[in-house]
């Protein structure tokens, strides 16, 4: 044997060892790849099974005219089964589970068909009547004639929205009935009062007197007129919650100045507008009535034995709403009365203390009908008071 052959035999073990090393390295890489793939599949499966949304992967079938007629479930997750109540559905067609699906859920069939053909994703909220569910549904297509649907069960939310809608409709109906009742009662009460006033007018003021010098007809007429005014205020209160649907931009400066002009000339009071007021979207008539009640309420707070009263009106815009303040330096309000000021039962008694009676209750209804809120603040008796109210930038008018 020559030396070259002998050398070749000597080199062969080394080459084999090198080849074995490369093979071992490749096998290790394959094992790592398989492990990473297995871990990836496990993570995917864990995510898939723990999704809160229902998931289904399906193939859709079309009829002769190209209309979607059926689909086959290829994969679903646990949430799908929990949310729909459908079990062991993989490998089955929807027609096997719900035979009349095309008649009972035509909108769902149409969506699946469009997405599977066009590849354009769609999202919709719909009622799935076969299972009595409301779904928030998202559909996309990974390949032609295949689609993936993910969904949430929003049945409770939709039922709550429907209950809220029915409640609002019932509230509107009851408010309408209440207003009709107020008008009817007003007419029925005014009629006997008008009769009494007519007969008292015929009697004359000096017809019946008592030894104490009491003028009975005059007292009765005054009480009748007081009752008429009381009825008027009840009607005003019933209408205060009505805000027209066609709200308009209203310059609050014009409205406040109109109210200022109603002040009695001999009343020792000053009005102050430190800065221009904003323009708001509101029912102009109701806004004027609101400022009138608050400003006149401030005027009523003047101490008859005191000096001149100052009423300041401010307004500014911020945080999606307007904030207004009507401030006076009058008698002030005890802290324990602040929360009750706007209650009907409380405000109607203010007449006995020189107040305007229903004014603050009416103010609250107007503000709330515009979607705002109203409150009062006062350091205490003898230290003035401030009445604040808000109006949203985009009010939703209604009945309150």
Task: Work out the pLDDT band at 331, boundaries 50, 70, 90.
Answer: confident
pLDDT at residue 341 tops 90: no
Note down the domain range covering 100: 54-153
306 and 385 inside one domain: yes
* Placement of tokens 């310059």 in the chain: 251
Indicate whether 273 and 375 sit together in one domain. Answer: yes
Per-residue confidence band for 208, with pLDDT thresholds at 50, 70 and 90: low
Instruction: Kindly state whether residue 227 falls inside one of the protein's structural domains.
Output: yes
Of 153-157, 160-164, 244-248, 351-355, the range with the lowest mean pLDDT is: 351-355
Which pLDDT score is estimated for 338?
Answer: 82
**Same domain for 165 and 146:** no
Cα-to-chain-centroid distance, residue 236: 27
Spatial CB neighbours of 72, under 8 Å, sequence gap ≥ 6? 58, 59, 60, 61, 91, 92, 93, 94
| 80 lies in the same domain as 201 | no
Q: Distance between CA 167 and CA 221 in Å, rounded? A: 45
Is 383 a domain residue? yes
- Report the CATH number at residue 269: 3.30.565.10
Q: Coil, helix or strand for 183?
A: helix
Give the torsion sign (CA, 285, 287, 289, 291).
negative
Stronger pLDDT, 281 or 33, i.e. the higher one: 281
d(CA 228, CA 118): 72
Which of the listed residues 91, 124, 153 is the one where a domain comes to its end?
A: 153
88 domain-assigned: yes
Domain boundary among 181, 212, 240: 240
Q: Kindly state whether residues 206 and 334 are assigned to the same domain.
A: no
Chain-centre distance for alpha carbon 351: 36
Asked if the structure places residue 22 within a domain, the reply is no
Average pLDDT, the chain: 80
Give Cα 166 distance to the centre of its chain.
Answer: 15
Strand ranges, E, within the chain: 54-62, 68-76, 122-128, 133-140, 146-153, 248-251, 269-272, 279-282, 309-318, 321-328, 374-377, 385-392
More confident residue, 249 or 230: 249
Q: 256 and 337 in one domain? A: yes
C-alpha angle with apex 344: 235 to 400, nearest 5 degrees?
A: 65
Any idea which of 285-294, 323-332, 377-386 has the lowest mean pLDDT?
377-386
- Residues 251, 224 share a domain: no
Report CA 335 to chain centroid distance, whole Å. 31
In this structure, the answer to whether residues 340 and 296 fall within a common structural domain is: yes
**Does residue 361 lie within any of the structural domains?**
yes
> Which comes out higher in pLDDT, residue 142 or 39?
142
Whether 32 is covered by a domain: the verdict is no
CB atoms near residue 147 (< 10 Å) = 27
pLDDT for position 62: 93
The pTM is what? 0.52
φ and ψ at residue 132, rounded to 5 degrees = 55, 50
Read off the DSSP letter of residue 263. Answer: S
Tell me the C-alpha distance between 179 and 334, whole Å.
34
Say whether both 284 and 395 belong to one domain: yes
- Specify if 44 maps to a domain: no
Domain assignment present for residue 49? The answer is no
Same domain flag for 141 and 195: no
Find the range with the poorest average confidence among 71-75, 104-108, 245-249. 245-249
pLDDT digits 0-9 by tens, 14-45: 677 777 777 777 766 766 766 666 665 556 55
The band of 212, judged by pLDDT with boundaries at 50, 70 and 90, is: low
Same domain, 348 and 256: yes
The last residue of a domain, from among 153, 174, 196: 153
What CA–CA distance (Å, rounded) separates 128 from 167?
24
Cβ within 8 Å of residue 98, ≥6 positions away: 104, 105, 130
Same domain, 352 and 372: yes
Confidence of residue 211 (pLDDT cuts 50, 70, 90): low
Overall domain count for the chain: 3
């Amino acid at each position: 044997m020559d030396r070259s052959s002998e050398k070749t035999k000597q080199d062969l073990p080394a080459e084999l060892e090198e080849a074995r090393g490369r093979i071992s390295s490749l096998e290790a890489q394959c094992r790592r790849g398989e492990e990473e793939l297995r871990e990836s599949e496990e993570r995917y499966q864990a995510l898939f099974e723990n999704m809160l949304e229902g998931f289904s992967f399906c193939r859709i079938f079309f009829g002769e005219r190209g209309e979607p007629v059926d689909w086959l479930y290829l994969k679903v997750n646990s949430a799908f089964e929990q949310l729909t109540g459908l079990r062991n559905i993989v490998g089955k067609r929807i027609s096997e589970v719900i035979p009349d699906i095309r008649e009972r859920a035509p909108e769902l069939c149409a969506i699946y068909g469009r997405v599977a053909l066009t590849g354009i994703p769609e999202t919709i909220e719909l009622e799935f009547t076969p299972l009595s569910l409301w779904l928030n549904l998202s559909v996309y297509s990974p390949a032609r004639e295949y689609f993936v649907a993910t969904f949430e069960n929003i049945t409770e939310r939709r039922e709550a929205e429907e209950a809220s809608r029915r409640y609002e409709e019932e509230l509107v109906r009851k408010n309408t009935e209440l207003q009709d009742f107020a008008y009817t009662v007003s007419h029925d009460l005014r009629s006997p009062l008008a009769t009494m006033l007519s007969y008292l007018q015929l009697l004359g003021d000096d017809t019946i007197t008592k030894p104490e010098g009491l003028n009975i007809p005059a007292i009765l007429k005054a009480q009748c007129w007081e009752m008429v005014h009381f009825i008027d205020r009840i009607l005003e209160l019933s209408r205060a919650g009505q805000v027209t649907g066609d709200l308009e931009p209203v310059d609050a400066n014009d409205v406040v100045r109109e109210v200022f002009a109603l002040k009695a000339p001999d009343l020792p009071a000053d009005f102050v507008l430190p800065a221009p007021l904003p323009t708001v979207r509101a029912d102009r008539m109701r806004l004027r009535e609101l400022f009138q009640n608050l400003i006149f309420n401030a005027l009523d707070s003047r101490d008859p034995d005191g000096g001149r009263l100052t009423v300041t009106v401010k307004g500014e815009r911020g945080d999606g709403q307007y904030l207004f303040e009507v401030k006076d330096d009058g008698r002030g309000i005890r802290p324990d009365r602040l929360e009750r000021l706007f209650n009907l039962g409380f405000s109607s008694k203010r007449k006995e203390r020189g107040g305007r009676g229903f004014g603050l209750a009416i103010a609250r209804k107007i503000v709330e009908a515009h979607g705002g809120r109203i409150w009062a603040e006062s350091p205490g008796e003898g230290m003035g008071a401030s009445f604040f109210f808000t109006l949203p930038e985009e009010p939703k008018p209604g009945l309150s």
